[in-house]
Amino acid sequence: MLSTQAIQLHVDLEVDPAREADLVKTYKEVFRPTISRQPGFVEVALLKARKSGAWRLLISFAAEEQRLTWVASDDHQVVWPQMEANLTGSKFSAGLFDVQ
């Protein structure tokens, strides 16, 4: 049974400073168009903090089950490695939130 609880995934990205432009291009031209076609998709945003320069990817789906379906999809297996190619170190950390 599909839950009716909307979720947001906040992914803090450790971006290679030399690849910031590549990350933005990949996000705009590859990742965003692909994720936006997924069932239950609500929103995606790539954010950069003004003061610290930290990067965050915000992903929102209507239900956690739909996000998990996206993660397991062939589309995700193609586009996420392209995003990850611009990351360094531990690459990312994530937190999952229920939308109230």
Q: How many domains does the chain have?
A: 1
Does 36 reside within a domain? yes
Instruction: List, for residues 24-55, the tens digit of each pLDDT value.
Output: 999 999 999 999 999 999 999 999 999 999 99
Beta pairing class for 7-15 and 87-98: antiparallel
Query: Phi, psi (5° rounding) for residue 67?
Result: -65, -45
Domain ranges, residue 74: 7-95
In a domain? residue 67: yes
**First-last CA distance in the chain:** 20
Instruction: Indicate yes or no: pTM above 0.85.
Output: yes
pLDDT in tens, 11-32: 999 999 999 999 999 999 999 9
Band (2; pLDDT cuts 50, 70, 90)? low
CATH number at residue 34: 3.30.70.100
